[in-house]
Structure 1
């Protein structure tokens, strides 16, 4: 069916489209437009708090969504209401979401489109625009690993293409040939900043060339062009998995959000794009070609308006959320039914590094779809050779070398989790997590609390000083993450603990930062079961029992404390190895302090803002009447960690710990 008769400002090619499809495209564009018009009224009435308008961009959301299969994931943004309505998300749930009601998708914990729903295969954005691009990579990787022949579509705006996540995600998708449609809505402005101040190339689509990615420019206001072209490309990707970059030329007819307005936009530009309204032009085209008449138009509009009003009544009638502290705290993490597995096998004396490697290998055998990702982890076996030989046993699909793009790989791990696949990400050095900090603390940590989607990700963190590696390879930065609700933090000091705790971390469906002190890798040996076993999080280890003082530590510092006691056999002390910092075993700490009356906390991290400060505060709050002296913290100097060995030794608290311990005993 090809119709050329048109007097609209947009030329429609409808060859191959039947009347039912054309009317469906029209209804699906009309619905978000009518909802938005109603929302703008409610915004002025103070019944919703904020609105990001997609008026004038409906053709993109609708066309892409209709081109996708219903079991394929879409990752939309603020202006993609048409994705949700085309996927037939119940309107009352959307309205409840925007009003912060419990029947929304985030229980009032987040607003607008900051949510996802597995039921409708939609993964919403966070305010940091870039991470969802890498998450799409992870979802697409899962599709490829499972041979599902599916496409993942992810949206961003032209402003978001300036973020590093965009470039990392395109690069990873290209290197791994992932079936992703990167949909860029080029709508003229990033808030008030025009495109000529956003990028300095003619078209965003041109960037695809630099990554070896096929790219296309599509008229984002032409619904049939969007639908036909995206349908063909999606079908092509299903048969031949690869990423494609799409630039949709369109315009934002209203402000970034309603409060910002559009005064910065020249009127002639507004007039030009107003004449290219995707809904009004398509409606005129359908009428002109006898595919829609006035009676049909009224009936369609009345049905949608009735649906809107009916669902608004349901949302407005719902009671406001009654805060419940227990429910709030319980939803930070996905419940984890810990299964204790005790090895009955013979023990073997191995190094710390071997314990990590054994645990990883046995977990790869236990979880047959577990994926390991990181720089140089495949053929090379990792810089510490922990994954040496894994490639031959488990193959390239599951042991994946990554480009140097920590942010995109953490995001890809999140995408794998959305599809039900566990992953372990190796930071080559814990220091480098700063390049992937945003998705760790804002995506992995918050997603289960926001919309009940867990992040089944372990991030391995080789860390610590004493090896003369300088400021960028020696940090022990656990305090960056113990501060962030939603993350678990593990920091073993012995091979036995490292092997069992890593197995538990991989079993746990929540995000875990697993710290491995490099200085312990080849210096500490211990008898460790050869078989697979687990250890419970939140259970500290009492290494020595005494009466005079409680020593609390973790990681390499535990060994400094043990050495100090060995050199001072007259000191009677409890030594507590925390093993996990989140969750923290306060019960063991309090019981010991109540017994001894004195406490000293030793950490390798610099003092201010470290975990020792929180432990000290907890002891003061819960054990004050049992204390015979102030709680003492001993930590590294308040400087970056230096390179030269003599400076590093001065920096680390190992040498001053003995004097501080004796001073506290004498208090």
Structure 2
């Protein structure tokens, strides 16, 4: 192995050696503890230390780095306290996730480290968002994101590279090509000679780097960082290396040919570099011994701290309280100046005034810039706020949701428009596995609103008509809002954007241009989790939201002698249980109307909860009305039969007459 010192001084040369030696010695200790049952799992990076250390040492402290589960050297090079790392791996309170996640599935804002999730790919889009925030603030910084050769087959990898290239984001995409994805060799994973060959398709620069040569890694990353800080753009890097142990320790390495293992053992990044430094006179046997003693003492002292720490205390209240980031709702009062506008205009007003209120709020989505979005909600926004803040995106929902998460990590706000709520399925993973869980895992807020144009009744067929709120009300960590009137839509959207938690904001397309209302012209807010009582009566409680509220109103108008409480939920998570219970205890009857199909929907949960909490007050069975159990059909007659609009009247009358 050839080493080129270049202009590095002896202190730097020695520092790189010590930075590699430390994670190696920690790993060797962890393997002992694993066999002793004192940690539960380990993903070894032995043989790959030069990559983690070389990249991290080349970045500035204020630049973010997104490691994987074999990048212990990232954490040690950033001087993350060892006792906290050891507590993390033992599931103790002084770790970074309070025992809620394991290994390297965490981040630390203090150290500008953003840990992985097991789904691998989304963190590359997160890196895009972090870098975008730096670009928008004109901070000349680089973001480095790690991935393995196996994860380059995921769609998120390709989406993130494309976004970074189109937006000229200063991201180093670092592929650690270590030969195997668990047991699957590279020749069964991709059919190009080098993974960086893919860069050409994205108009990106690329480099192949010897991942076992610390000086090559460090010098090339230093060079690239200088270039990217000067002219923002992404670079795809492939570090050629090898995984000397199993995917995780339980997997073993029996599937690896012994000859191949011996070849790579000779390329060990630490022993080779150590030999070189001895030859150059930078190191001596005595200095090596001294360094090992110092590191061993540090490891043992911090292990004692971690071992002495009590097992984490289980407290249900604490667990529930940490699902969401704290939000002190601030009321912005309505003024008396109102205008009668459509539902779609109210959404646009709320979004526009929020952009004025928050100068670091970014809107992203397909066709949202000059075109104004397919529903024209952001029409004119580019002229007022500029293309940097109103951003057309490629068709890559997963990468854009992940990028929104990256903006939040770097202190900005994001609103993502799903062109249609149906399309969120292409970005489902980062919504339910990243945005929803990130605060519970390591106290990082996900300051993201995802706008969801949804609903049937407009002849749009199976792929543009779903009302899929139940996908998200089931997922702890997400908030779900679903207004029925223009005034509510504007005020709730403003609150959703102010809320530092991820909010799915559903907007029924059928209401956009058919429903008008008097809407205050100023910037005002409506709290989440507070239902609206639209009509009062003592015969029956009707609970609905979205278009269902208008169907219920129409039915009540057709039956003026029927006296009902009509509750518009407005938000589904959080949900106003108090309003529901109070009404049911008064009327003794409950019917829940939703546009979604019944099985597994919000109506089922409301019915179950009311049975548990208000059973003794009920004078009749709870009724649920929803769409039939099919996809949403296109033809008008079929769609009319699919939707519950007509069926609701019959069920309501039956319930009142029970």
Aligned partner of residue 119 in structure 1, secondary structure? helix
Matched, 1:548 2:539: yes
Matched residue SS, 1:122 = coil
**1:217-228 equivalences in 2 (<5 Å):** 217-228=208-219
The structure 2 residue matched to 1:405, chosen from 396, 402, 425, is: 396
Residue 84 (structure 1) aligned to one of 70, 75, 81? 75
1:323 partnered with 2:292: no
1:365-402 deviations in Å (ceiling 9; x for gaps): 00011100000000100000000000000001100000
Give the deviation of 1:345 after TM superposition: 3.8
Secondary structure, counterpart of 2:110 in structure 1? coil
User: How far, CA to CA, are the matches of 1:312 and 1:93 in structure 2?
Assistant: 9
Partner of 1:43, secondary structure, is helix
Provide the residue aligned with 2:205 in structure 1: 214
Aligned to 2:173: 182
Matches within 5 A, 1:253-332: 253-332=244-323
Give how far 1:442 is off: 0.2
RMSD: 0.4
What's the CA shift string for 1:14-40, capped at 9, x where partnerless? 111111111000000000000000000
Residue by residue over 1:511-550, the C-alpha shift from the partner in whole angstroms, topping out at 9 and shown as x without a partner, is: 0000000000000000010111000111000000001000
1:132 aligned to which of 93, 117, 123: 123
Distance in 2, Cα, partners of 1:343 & 1:238: 46
The Cα shift of 1:208 comes to: 0.4
Q: 1:112 aligns with which of 103, 115, 118?
A: 103
Structure 1 runs of 4+ aligned residues shifted over 6 Å read: none
Work out the CA distance in 2 between the residues paired with 1:346 and 1:68: 53
Q: After superposition, give the CA deviation of every residue in 1:124-170 in whole Å (9 maximum; x if it has no partner).
A: 00000000000000000000000110000000000000000000000
1:169 alignment partner, one of 160, 174, 192 = 160
SS at match of 1:123: coil
CA deviation string 1:333-372 (max 9, x = no partner):
0110001111224111000000000000000000011100
Structure-2 separation of matches of 1:343 and 1:554: 23
Residue 38 in structure 1 maps to residue 29 in structure 2: yes
Partner of 1:6: none
TM-score normalised per structure 1: 0.98
Distance 2:6 2:346 in 1: 63
Displacement, 1:196?
Answer: 0.3
Which stretches in structure 1 are left out of the alignment for 5+ residues? 1-9
Q: How many Å apart are 1:288 and its aligned residue?
A: 1.2
Give the SS at the match of 1:116: coil
1:235 corresponds, among 199, 215, 226, to 226
Pairing 1:161-560 to 2, within 5 Å after superposition: 161-560=152-551
Match for residue 620 of structure 1 among 611, 615, 623: 611
Distance in 2 (alpha carbons) for counterparts of 1:451 and 1:15: 40
Report the 3-state secondary structure (helix = DSSP H, G, I; strand = E; otherwise coil) of the residue aligned with 2:272.
helix
**Cα deviation digits, residues 432-486 of structure 1 (max 9, x gap):** 0000000000000000000000000000000000000000000000000000000
Q: How much does 1:570 deviate?
A: 1.1
Is structure 2 residue 551 aligned with structure 1 residue 569? no
**Counterparts of 1:659 and 1:70, CA distance in 2:** 66
> C-alpha separation between the residues in 1 aligned to 2:54 and 2:137?
27
What SS does the aligned partner of 2:215 have? helix
Q: Deviations over 1:472-507 (max 9, x none)?
A: 000000000000000000000000000000000000
Say whether 1:592 aligns with 2:583.
Answer: yes
Counterpart of 1:582 in structure 2 is 573
| SS of the residue 1:224 aligns to | helix
* Cα distance in 1, alignment partners of residues 624 and 163 from structure 2: 44
TM-score normalized with structure 2 length: 1.00
The separation in 1 between residues aligned to 2:370 and 2:229, in whole angstroms, is: 29
DSSP-derived class of the 2:411 partner: coil
Q: Distance in 1 between matches of 2:179 and 2:335?
A: 65
Distance in 2 (alpha carbons) for counterparts of 1:533 and 1:16: 59
Picking from 632, 636, 644, the partner of 1:653 is 644
C-alpha distance in structure 1 between counterparts of 2:451 and 2:69, whole Å: 33
Quote the Cα distance in structure 2 between the aligned partners of 1:345 and 1:663.
Answer: 42
Deviation at 1:419, TM superposition (A): 0.9
Taking the aligned partners of 1:143 and 1:367, their CA distance within structure 2 comes to 17
Q: Give unpaired runs (5+ residues) of structure 2.
A: none
Cross-structure match for 1:601: 592
Task: Count residues with an aligned counterpart.
Answer: 658
Cα deviation for residue 666 of structure 1 reads 1.3
SS of equivalent to 1:662? helix
- Give SS of 1:271's match: helix
Match of 1:61 among 39, 52, 57: 52
